[in-house]
Amino acid sequence: MKKPIFKRSALATCTSSLILLSAMLGSSGAAAHGYVEFPPSRALLCQKGVNTGCGGASNEPQSVGETFKGFPAGVGGAEGQGPIDGKIASGGHELFSAVDVQSATRWQLTDINERTLDFQWHYKAPHPVEYHQYFITRNGWNPNESLKRASFESTPFCEVAGDFQMPVPGTQHRCSIPEDKNGHHVILAIWAVGDTKMAFHSVADVNIVAEAVLPGGWSAVGAIAPSTPLLTGDKVKARAFTATGESAYYSVEISIDNAEDAEPQNWSFKLAEQINQSQTLIRAGVRDENGNIEAIRGSNTLYAKKDSGVVRYEVQLLMKEDAGARLSVASQQAEYVLDKGKTKVDFSLMSNRKMNVEANLFNEQNKLVGTTTAQADSGATWLAMDIRSNPGPHTLTLVGTTLDGRTTRQDTQPVNVTGEGAGADYDFLFPEGLSDYTAGTKVLQPKTNEVFECKPFPASGYCKQYKPEANGFEPGVGEHSHAAWNKL
């Protein structure tokens, strides 16, 4: 492969909102890995839990996309040719094959609000850099087909020479997004390793909403990004705003009439279609290579003509409460017996929806003595929490919120706690509430199961002097504990 001569041109354009990973293997087999810290890549969002179902990419995003240099030459997978069509995101590695899945709604999109962006890489195990390149999908690309060479523009919109030098931490690549790019796109970032034949190919999923006047006089003013499943009876509203405030004339609302409409890609399409049918100066959809804007079942960009005065859109989900949602404590023990003030409180709950659940146990003085959280499936779920308390009546509160966030349910039940108590009462389980410690504050030291009281002023100032790496004033444990605390 002929060594490219790189210079940054005005056309060099780089998109925002993706953290691109880069990694590399030295010829000796020593691995060199890295990723772009800002903005985030598909694999990095997998590690963060924003993207799910990512396979091995969730554990080591810095290793995703390694294969030979040469994109977009040849058929791929060989020296001087780059990654295989359909395997561009993973680099052809089976461990990372989950990130090759491609659809209009599969991956979280990052909004790109500015056309100039600084890509910043984190080099976990640096090797010399031959070059960095940034490619972007063509206008009219199909987001529901696997990524191929033909999905991308044939030339990079941003190129940075590495001169076979070691990368400098904190180095940024300033790039500009091409003026004709708006809406849902994928950016492919490439780090060509200077001392091997390999390169790391990292994709980022973006929604370009940066303002630009496009052929035909259209400006991008927002997007319909499908994400949340809805219910029959919900509504979705595209709220239009001019320089003077919200415009009822250009705002458009749809109702979710059936289960098919409720799917994210379908309500996005229905809203975009309604906008296109009811407006002449507003369009919603994806621009093809000829500049035509058509609605799709996926992320739709909103465009406005200058004469409309519309400068932005906000999409609002008008979700009704899920009246049928139920949550309750199903079963618990008749009593929970303390051993030196500690025990495990286990119980079951029943729900008819998937919910994020928080359970808290309060003692007779309404002080929190135990807590736990979980995601409960529809049906029965068992939970357990470790508590430190004294015998007496307690109260269990159970709060669950449906995964879409629209509905919250609560149940409260009495709990009987008996047995041997923890002894002296306390205000905090050390080191919780550290910033609130003052003279007279009582804390339970879990390492010794003892209660300590903060000494009067001026010694009370030492009670807050705690760091895990320097714990000299930790109650009952630190070398200088006696200077700050009295054991009760």
CATH number at residue 290: 3.30.70.2150
pLDDT (tens digit per residue) in 46-75: 999 999 999 989 988 888 988 999 999 877
471, 391: one domain: no
**The predicted structure's pLDDT at residue 203:** 93
In a domain, 347, yes or no: yes
- Is there a single domain that holds both residue 256 and residue 301? yes
Report if residue 16 sits inside a domain. Answer: no
Distance of alpha carbon 481 from alpha carbon 469, whole angstroms: 15
Looking at the structure of the chain, the number of domains it has is 4
Residues in the chain: 488
d(CA 421, CA 424) in angstroms, rounded, equals 9
Same domain membership, residue 172 and residue 46:
yes
CA distances from 153 to 72, 113, 135, 186, 289 (A): 9, 21, 7, 11, 11
**82-88: long-range contacts at Cβ-Cβ below 8 A with a sequence spacing of 24 or more?**
82/149, 82/199, 82/201, 83/201, 85/146, 85/147, 85/148, 85/149, 85/150, 86/146, 86/147, 86/148, 88/147, 88/148, 88/149, 88/188, 88/201, 88/203
3-state secondary structure of 325: coil
Please write the tens of the pLDDT for every residue from 123-144: 777 789 999 999 999 988 989 8
**Are residues 198 and 83 part of one domain?**
yes
Q: What is the pLDDT of residue 159?
A: 93
Are both 219 and 341 inside the same structural domain?
no
User: Tell me, what DSSP letter sits at residue 108?
Assistant: P
| pLDDT of res. 15 | 33
Same domain, 168 and 290: no
CB 196 within 8 A of CB 26: yes
Q: Do 180 and 229 share a domain, yes or no? A: no
What was the pLDDT predicted at 20?
33
pLDDT digits (tens, 9 = 90+) for 350-374: 999 999 999 999 998 888 888 899 9
For residue 3, is it within any domain? no
Residues above pLDDT 70, as percent of the chain: 91
Residues with pLDDT less than 70, the chain: 1-32, 34, 211-215, 422-423, 469-470
Residues 164 and 55 both lie in one domain: yes
pLDDT of the residue at 31? 52
User: Is 344 in the same domain as 301?
Assistant: no
Residues 115, 31 within the same domain: yes
Claim to verify: residue 184 and residue 37 sit in the same structural domain: yes
For residue 214, what pLDDT is reported?
67
What distances in angstroms separate CA 306 from CA 256, 272, 315, one per listed residue? Answer: 31, 19, 20
- Quick check: is 381 in a domain? yes
Look at residue 403 and tell me if it is in a domain: yes
Type of residue at 287: R
Q: What is the pLDDT of residue 421?
A: 83
Is residue 11, in this structure, part of any structural domain at all?
Answer: no
**Is the residue at 9 inside a domain?**
no
Q: 343 and 235 in one domain?
A: no
| Boundary-marking domain end, from 396, 419, 442 | 419
Q: Which domain holds residue 372?
A: 327-419
pLDDT of residue 366: 87
CATH number assigned to the domain comprising residue 157: 2.70.50.50
Query: What pLDDT was estimated at residue 23?
Result: 33
